[in-house]
Amino acid sequence: MYTLYWGPNSAALAPQILLEEIAAPHELKTIDTSQQQHQTADYLKLNPNGKIPTLVIDGKQALFESAAICLYLADRHPEAKLAPSIAEPARGLYYQWLAHLTNTLQPAYLAYYYPDRLTDDPKGAPLVQSRARKDLAQIWGRIDKALGEKGPYLLGDRYSACDAFLFMLSCWQEPLPDLYGRFKNVKRCAELVRARPAVQRILPANGLAA
């Protein structure tokens, strides 16, 4: 049994998609960051970083970091075929894309959403945000090119946890509202993910269009 500490259209979306894909028994516990619920003493015991998501496994072990949770779920449930096995060459690409999404693309979103954390200058936040927008456009542009050369998924013709992660980040529309218009191969990948029954089931709770 899994418990996912969650908020709508947050970094909990990719882990939530994987839980649905796996059809694993799980419950969601909502953490409302606007009410500072991610900073309570009880929550900080599970995730000392004070971020969502956190996955609790069988009421015992807590895991933080959305990409780590995705890697864990995909490997623990190989029957769901969300990751190539270590014996397959695609396993390297799988690591590459998930690491790229969480180490390079996701931090640019975090810079946009939390700009004051990246500058000590009280007037610096808009500059951080405009830089983050440029970074996001460049990074998505390179991903779009790769998807155009060898798509429609990040691993070619094979859906994986990487695509769920890409979909999650593509849903954070505020800094680049024209993302799908500018990057057609990203749009194609995101639409394939969106159409999956597991994803369709959870879109409403995340405030996302079907």
Ligand X SMILES: N[C@@H](CCC(=O)N[C@@H](CS)C(=O)NCC(=O)O)C(=O)O
The distance of closest approach from Cβ of residue 93 to ligand X in the complex, given in angstroms and rounded to an integer, is 20
Give whichever of 15 and 84 is closer to ligand X, judged by the CB atom.
15
The distance of closest approach from Cβ of residue 160 to ligand X in the complex, given in angstroms and rounded to an integer, is 17
The distance of closest approach from Cβ of residue 86 to ligand X in the complex, given in angstroms and rounded to an integer, is 23
Sort strands 54-57 and 26-30 into parallel, antiparallel or unpaired.
unpaired
Contact 210, 52 (CB under 8 A): no
66: contact with ligand X by CB under 6 A:
yes
* Subset of residues 132 to 151 that bind ligand X, contact rule: CB under 6 A: none
Stretch that binds ligand X, among 50-58, 87-95, 161-169, 184-192 (CB under 6 A): 50-58
Give whichever of 10 and 185 is closer to ligand X, judged by the CB atom.
10
Q: Peptide bond preceding 152: is omega within 30 degrees of 0, i.e. cis? A: yes
35: contact with ligand X by CB under 6 A:
no
18: contact with ligand X by CB under 6 A:
no
Long-range contacts of 171-175 (CB under 8 A, 24+ apart): 171/9, 171/13, 171/206, 171/208, 172/9, 172/109, 172/113, 174/112, 174/113, 175/109, 175/112, 175/129, 175/132, 175/133, 175/136
Contact 158, 90 (CB under 8 A): yes
Beta-carbon count within 10 A of 134 CB:
11
26: contact with ligand X by CB under 6 A:
no
200: contact with ligand X by CB under 6 A:
no
Kindly tell me which residue out of 17, 21, 26, 51 binds ligand X, with binding defined by CB under 6 A: 51
Return residues touching ligand X (CB under 6 A): 10-11, 33, 38, 51-53, 65-66, 110
